[in-house]
Amino acid sequence: MFKLTASICAFAMLCATAPAISAPNLDTFRKELDTFVETQMHTQKVPGVAIAVLRNGKTVVAKGYGWANVELDVPVTTETMFQSGSVGKMFTAAAVMTAVEQGKMDLNDSVSKYLPDAPASWRPITIRQLLTHTSGLPNAGADFDLRRDYTDDELVKTFYPMTLDFQPGARWSYSNTGYQLLGILVKKATGQSYLDILNTQVFKPLGMKTARAVNDADIVPNRSAGYQLVDGELKNQDWVSMFNPTGTARCICRSTT
């Protein structure tokens, strides 16, 4: 799904840099976009996707493709609610930068400022490095239980024994751990829950009316099912806990409208 999202974004950005789209050209663009998306969905075995293309602040395309629920033949529409997954990291970064602008955090702050009992090896790690995936913190190991409901303290303590992959700032390596920590640190810095921060500082100011936190118990109209590829075959996604949402924003849903 990440590859499909990246491909569509690249396609849309190329169009955004083109001259103004007239009505005939817009029809051509829509046809080309349909062909591109449908080809990529087939190649990458993605069951369904919704896209929106904006130009100069106006929506020129908003459309669903494929299925929101394969078993029940429910099509994707512009109202379909998708779980954000790691796309939610951009919201975490926005929340942190808002706190920085408000003087509640500093990009050069050490993680130890907010986690005094953190390992000595973490002291050089800064907020900036967590944001830019240059902290050296690895992803959680195989013993990390995605089906468990962790408190913030429990989650942090599962990370403490980790050995850094490299010295902070030395290079880049994608880290879910870093963003989970950012979600916890911004809560400590602001005194608000992670989701309250997103609602007040990100979603409402941006007019993201359909963005919301969810859990397994909530009734969410138009929520899509989740899928994964196993040996190239489409399967229902593994169940994971919506535990105390932090910086990876697994629990956030939104539609294209």
* Among the listed residues 83, 84, 85, 79, the one whose alpha carbon sits nearest the alpha carbon of residue 255: 79
**What tens digit of pLDDT does each residue of 111-141 get?**
999 999 999 999 999 999 999 999 999 998 7
**What tens digit of pLDDT does each residue of 182-207 get?**
999 999 999 999 889 999 999 999 89
Asked if the model's pLDDT at residue 69 lies above 80, the reply is yes
Question: How far is Cα 162 from Cα 140, in angstroms, rounded to an integer?
Answer: 8
**122 in Cβ contact with 116 (< 8 Å):** no
What 8-state DSSP symbol labels residue 199? Answer: I
Q: Catalytic amino acids? A: 86
pLDDT-based confidence at 7, cuts 50/70/90?
low
Question: What type of residue is 137?
Answer: L
236 forms bridges with which residues in the sheet?
A: 227
**What tens digit of pLDDT does each residue of 155-182 get?**
999 999 999 999 999 999 999 999 999 9
Burial class (CB in 10 A: 0-12, 13-18, 19+), 184: buried
Asked if the model's pLDDT at residue 16 lies above 60, the reply is no
Domains of the chain from N-terminus onward: 2-85+210-243+250-254 (no CATH), 89-206 (3.40.710.10)
Tokens representing 10 are 């690249």
Helix (H) or strand (E) holding 65: strand 58-69
Asked if the model's pLDDT at residue 17 lies above 70, the reply is no
